[in-house]
Amino acid sequence: MLNGTLNCSQSNHHYDRQYHNQFTYNSNRLKEFKKWDSIVMIIISIYNEILDPIEKIINSMRIYDPFIIPTCYGSLFQELVNLSHVIERKGEI
């Protein structure tokens, strides 16, 4: 009877140790995940700080789209359309 009780106690100790090892493993994995999560967030914030000024420059350049630059006879695009009609008419002459 005593031997059976000892085996049961050893078995429980084995499961306790196994549970503790699994818990430690999961805890370490979580710490590693949090570390990588922090690294990724730092990289994203640096990336955003670099891209924000570039985005502002690009957005300001869009305002000065060459086809909407005003000219004496409308926009630059309209001037090109008019010029293409003139070239077509000269080809007909």
Tens digits of residue pLDDT in 60-77? 766 655 666 666 766 777
Q: Please check whether residue 84 is in contact with residue 77, taking contact to mean a CB–CB distance below 8 angstroms.
A: no
**What mean pLDDT do residues 44-59 have?**
82
Tens digits of residue pLDDT in 10-34? 556 656 677 767 777 778 888 888 8
**What mean pLDDT do residues 38-53 have?**
86
Please, what is the end-to-end C-alpha distance for the chain in angstroms?
119
pLDDT at 8: 54
**Using CA atoms, how far apart are residues 31 and 37, in angstroms rounded to an integer?**
10
pLDDT at 2: 46
**Using CA atoms, how far apart are residues 41 and 49, in angstroms rounded to an integer?**
12
